[in-house]
Amino acid sequence: MSASSGTQKVFRLRRLPESISSRKDVAKLLGKTLSLSSDQITVYSLAKTSNRWGSMSKVATVQFKSIPPILDPEPPGAQWKFPIPESQHNDVLILDTHFRGMTVLNDVEKENHRTDCIAISGLASHPFGSWQPHGPDKSFMWIRDELPTSVPGVRAILYGYDSRLKDSKSFQSIEDIAGCLILNLKSGGWNLPKSRPIIFLAHSLGGIVLKEAIKQMAGNSDRREADILNNLLGAIMFGVPNLGMEQSHLMAMVEGQDNETLVQDLSRNNGRNYVRQLDEKFNGLSTVHTLKILWAYETESLTIPINKNHSDMVKFSQGDEDLETIIFSLNDILKERLGQPLLAPNDASQSQQTLLGANLDYQSTDEGVLTEDEKVLKDLGSFLLSIQGIHDELYSPELDSRINQIEDPSQNTFNWIFSLPLFSQWLRKKSGLFWISGKPGSGKSTLMKHVFQSQSTKDLSHKWETSSIDIKAGFFFHYRGTAIQKSLEGVLRSLIIHILKPHRIAFQKKYQGTWEIFQSFIQRYRTLEGQRASFEYELDAIVEEKMVGDIKQQLSLLHRRMEEVSKRSLDFREREPELQQKLKQVRADIAAVSRSISSLAEKARPYQTQPETRFLRSLVNELQNDSNSQVDKLEQILRLLLDQDIMNINLVLFFDALDEFDGHIENISDFLTNLLERSTTSKTQIKVCFSSRPQESLNDHFTKYPGFRLQDYTTEDIEQYAKISLARSEIMNFSQREEFMKIIPSIIARANGVFLWVRLAMKELFDTAGGSPEAELFGRLKKKLQELPDDLLKFYKHIIERISGANRRYTFALLELLARHAGLSVSVTDIWGAVLTSGCTTFEESLEVLQKISGNTGQKIATDSDRDQRAISDISAWAGGLVEIKAQNNLQLMHQTVLEFTRDQTFKNWIDESPDQLRRIFRQGAQPPLLTYLAFEPASGVLLKGHVTTARLLLEKGYNIAKDTRFFPSLLEKIWKAEAMAAVQGGFSESHAQTAIARILQELATVVLDNGQNPNISCSIFSRDNLQRCTPLHIAPPGLAAKLIRCDADVNMPDSWGKKPLDWVLNPPRWSPRWSCARRYEMCRLLVKAGALMSESTPDEDWIGALAEFDLAGHDVEVLQRNEPRPLAAAAPSSGDPNAQNSKERHRRRALSFLVGLFRKK
């Protein structure tokens, strides 16, 4: 939002319902609450609150284009409460500008969450505004807008407190403020085992508050506070007055106010000398020595120079060089404190183990902590994480989404199945298959959902005479869904998750308590170690003071000073026996904790040899076995689970829509029958129930097993469904409903057991009834019913024929787009735009359409809400009921038969019989070109080395790379992003999966270049501000750059800003990552050797500084100096002897290079 269009004031919105999932939803709710249009509100952040103990809610930061009258003037507390419209529980929204307490600025997916970064503002500073740059535009705040995107896995949080000076009524001291901070950390759950490590950002007084809080927690016996201390990684302190500050000008502001004591405590000369004493105690804490603390504008050993005044040093704007330094420092703290570079976001199990390792990073002492005992208990904790890791790695929300999309049965339908002897007897058996077959649309999925979720299933299948554990698992195939929803891998994942659950929970219940006790011992051990280090520190100070006293007479010029030292030494000597006694007690306590750990390890040690441990370890080992493919590993894990001999398990499996399996139907048929064939030692009894259409191959496989045809049993259910649909209709009065009831028997007869046909027919009949006089109603309904086709596919054609000619083209486009889309559901607005542009023949024409519907032209749609409603209205008109709008405005085809209809040759022929503008939509080749599909949408979901071989064969057999115009630019962008992520996270690990993928991508690029790919094709990289056009050489890594140069890439072709590839190496764009010195040197060497030049706008100092940096790193710079990237004549004066001028230029450059090198060393 530009400064001119918005207000400077930023508001915090709290108590948002947990169901609010987008910023758009926030704007709508707040707009409705304040009687404002949602487009008057800009929402910049939305996140779950940090409070673990209250009711779950969300918090947002918002701005208004103009302050609403209801918010002006601001009340004394800077806070407003508004009832949420139509709330069933009288919930309220709280809007404020004070930002006190914790404010979470972004959410992080659980598996990606690495750390929490908490910012504490300074004296007389606003908790939010103090981190924003000066000026009228308050749309950017770096902790909210930059930090989460630049530091992977970080959750950004503000902590606000009342630090006002003028007119403040606060009587809190620094100790009180620190105590409140500790309470907020507890309520936020940072003392819990699953909490993430903390990094603090503290400015000015905020740093003093943080130091006081750490001091209080270190000296407190409260275990929760010790847990918080153990969770600290480090901090960046901005301008913290560690030795006090000049505050005479501040005293004038607060004299006589309640907060006068707080300002006095910050004085350098205050009699209490609070700040200096705090600094001494803080530095003496052993906990502090385990943290990495960086000081901005301080004279400590670790400093960050920031060229700004005390107030402005945290007010970073976009692109600020100092901000990049802070971001780098935060990444550095994470990399150092977690013991390795940050992991890729999808590597949840490794990240958990890394954090575990960090939390257990203590050192044994002579007091008796045994290494073998530690190993036993650490291994137990790691094993618990590994078992949980199986579930976390295999689970995906998509596995459960299909069953939630299936409609619940109508009231009092399908209950007959539990009274059906054939089915109830099968449920009581120990094992066996049961097949529910049915016509398309007969209600098979609805019935399977009902059976799967019903308590009657559990009651009938339970074996009360045995001590077996009942497990019910299911998989609902969904051909219109993602790959995992219709593949064998998805089946295996789902079954393993459900069958593993009782084993996992039983083991966790048995040993999780031992692990938590061990953690408490470790935390106690750390606390004692901190106390021991503190006492030893004080005793060392006594020794130093004694030494000073012994040489007092030799320092006559400092006689007065020595008298003070002597007096202080006397105080220390008096404390020496007390400290010695305390140290003795702490050492004894450490020894006691060590013995407790040994005892705990002795009790836990048998777990290593117990059968369930060996069984679970075999599962973990198999999942970590990289020699097999993913499906092979999962199959082996499932076999191990089914053949287990640990506990008696009664397993009932349900599979819906077996015919929607994306593979050979014989394979999934064999899989089902093989589930029943278990080893003789297995304690698992298995029953399998599945549904499908009566396909011939399934008939051949399963006719010998019990089952039934669904349509033979649903006459009463269909009648009940029709009556309920009629009762819910609002377009007819009582007497009209009575007339409609007369035709229901005819509907049932025509349905032939197909619920879906009844649903479509009822809609058609309701439309007919809506415009019919009561006297003619029955006749018209009867006539309409006779016109309806019996076949579903013909019914769909009938529906489309009734859609107006003006909308027909959009109907075809809508159905084709959804039929060809493979993956997650698409949103209403996305598909709306795609349909509207489907008939466009040029980019400009498409852009004009999209600008029109997005509101970027004069013919704009008023608000986001209006746009959504317009999209829903249009799609409803185009779809004729064949497309469903699901939760969160996502679209999908109504039924599998609709997908089959759009893929049927009849539908294609119908298009060919349609006008030219219809045919044009489908003859533009919507399927992605082969190489793009191969590299970016592989069937396995993962790019493998075999795909490179496939690509090479395609190209060698004549595939024209020109058909894939976007493939090579997309491939380079993917390589660049992988390299950029690695640079941020500290480089690729040889063992990391991302390393293999990066190599495969580069090998694929090499293959394409060998087969005629244009090496100078235009590429695009999205920067923070806009789209950057460049060449492959601008973004390629050195290995690929060498290949591009060999393929005649132009080393001097500029990007969209006139910068050449060498310019990017010498002075990368500010949004580019910090490449390593070795990488930059290798790129420089390749480019200048090939004749690369710098652009006119790039100063010589960039080149000379790079030479100095390379030289300091030990690289050979002579090869670079022999190939100057800018002709010397261009840099030298035009008059005089050229040789002399060139010589002078070389000397000038060498001198400047020396100075740059000297500066860097300094």
| pLDDT tens per residue, range 373-420 | 878 888 888 888 888 888 888 888 888 888 888 888 888 889 999 999
Of 24-38, 320-334, 724-738, where does the model show the most confidence? 24-38
What was the pLDDT predicted at 870? 85
pLDDT digits (tens, 9 = 90+) for 755-767: 889 989 888 888 8
In this structure, the answer to whether residues 144 and 252 fall within a common structural domain is: yes
Among candidate residues 45, 69, 98, the one where a domain is terminated: 98
pLDDT digits (tens, 9 = 90+) for 884-904: 877 666 788 888 888 888 877
In the predicted structure, residue 782 carries a pLDDT above the cut 60:
yes
**Band of residue 984 on the pLDDT scale cut at 50, 70, 90:** low
**Band of residue 926 on the pLDDT scale cut at 50, 70, 90:** very low
pLDDT digits (tens, 9 = 90+) for 829-888: 878 888 888 777 776 777 778 777 765 444 444 566 677 788 888 888 888 888 887 766
Among 726-735, 753-762, 824-833, 1077-1086, whose mean pLDDT is lowest? 824-833
Residue whose token pair is 């040759």 = 905
DSSP 8-state class, residue 245: B
In the predicted structure, residue 297 carries a pLDDT above the cut 70:
no
Q: Decide if 530 is inside a domain.
A: no
Output the DSSP codes for 251-284. Answer: HHHHTTSTTHHHHHHTBSS-TT-HHHHHHHHHHH
Output the DSSP codes for 965-1014. Answer: TTHHHHHHHHHHHHHHHHHHTTS--TTSHHHHHHHHHHHHHHHHHHTT--
Task: Return the HEC string of 20-71.
Answer: CCCHHHHHHHHHHHHCCCHHHEEEEEEEECCCCCCCCCEEEEEEECCCCHHH
Identity at 198, one-letter amino acid code: I
Contact predicate 1081/1113, CB 8 Å: yes
Phi/psi of residue 686, nearest 5 degrees:
-125, 130
In the predicted structure, residue 505 carries a pLDDT above the cut 70:
yes
What was the pLDDT predicted at 1134? 39
Count: domains in the chain: 5
**Average pLDDT of the segment spanning 580-588:** 83
What was the pLDDT predicted at 448? 95
Rounded to whole angstroms, what are the CA distances from 949 to 928, 955, 1005?
A: 19, 10, 12
pLDDT digits (tens, 9 = 90+) for 173-210: 788 888 889 888 888 888 776 688 999 999 988 998 99
CA distance 719 to 712: 14
In this structure, the answer to whether residues 774 and 728 fall within a common structural domain is: yes
In this structure, the answer to whether residues 772 and 842 fall within a common structural domain is: no
Contact predicate 531/586, CB 8 Å: yes
Among 511-515, 561-565, 852-856, 1078-1082, whose mean pLDDT is lowest? 561-565
pLDDT digits (tens, 9 = 90+) for 55-65: 578 999 999 98
Contact predicate 98/160, CB 8 Å: yes
What was the pLDDT predicted at 55? 56
CA distance 1126 to 1092: 9
**Average pLDDT of the segment spanning 65-81:** 85
**Domain CATH number, residue 242:** 3.40.50.1820
Q: Decide if 172 is inside a domain.
A: yes
Q: Decide if 117 is inside a domain.
A: yes
Contact predicate 966/943, CB 8 Å: no
Give the three-state DSSP class for 13. Answer: strand
What was the pLDDT predicted at 477? 93
pLDDT digits (tens, 9 = 90+) for 208-227: 899 999 988 888 877 778 88
**Domain CATH number, residue 449:** 3.40.50
Q: Decide if 513 is inside a domain.
A: no
In this structure, the answer to whether residues 208 and 272 fall within a common structural domain is: yes
In this structure, the answer to whether residues 189 and 307 fall within a common structural domain is: yes
In this structure, the answer to whether residues 333 and 439 fall within a common structural domain is: no
What was the pLDDT predicted at 838? 79
Mean pLDDT across the chain, nearest whole number? 78
In this structure, the answer to whether residues 232 and 340 fall within a common structural domain is: yes
In this structure, the answer to whether residues 214 and 322 fall within a common structural domain is: yes
Among candidate residues 922, 938, 960, the one where a domain is terminated: 922
**Domain CATH number, residue 72:** 3.30.70
Whole domain around residue 816: which residue ranges?
799-922
What was the pLDDT predicted at 122? 85
In this structure, the answer to whether residues 806 and 771 fall within a common structural domain is: no
In this structure, the answer to whether residues 820 and 850 fall within a common structural domain is: yes
What was the pLDDT predicted at 399? 86
Contact predicate 16/59, CB 8 Å: yes
What was the pLDDT predicted at 331? 83
What was the pLDDT predicted at 1151? 44
Q: Decide if 208 is inside a domain.
A: yes
Q: Decide if 106 is inside a domain.
A: yes
What was the pLDDT predicted at 780? 87
Q: Decide if 639 is inside a domain.
A: no
CA distance 687 to 642: 12
In this structure, the answer to whether residues 823 and 905 fall within a common structural domain is: yes
Identity at 1016, one-letter amino acid code: N
Q: Decide if 1032 is inside a domain.
A: no
Among candidate residues 98, 133, 166, the one where a domain is terminated: 98
In the predicted structure, residue 923 carries a pLDDT above the cut 80:
no
In this structure, the answer to whether residues 819 and 743 fall within a common structural domain is: no
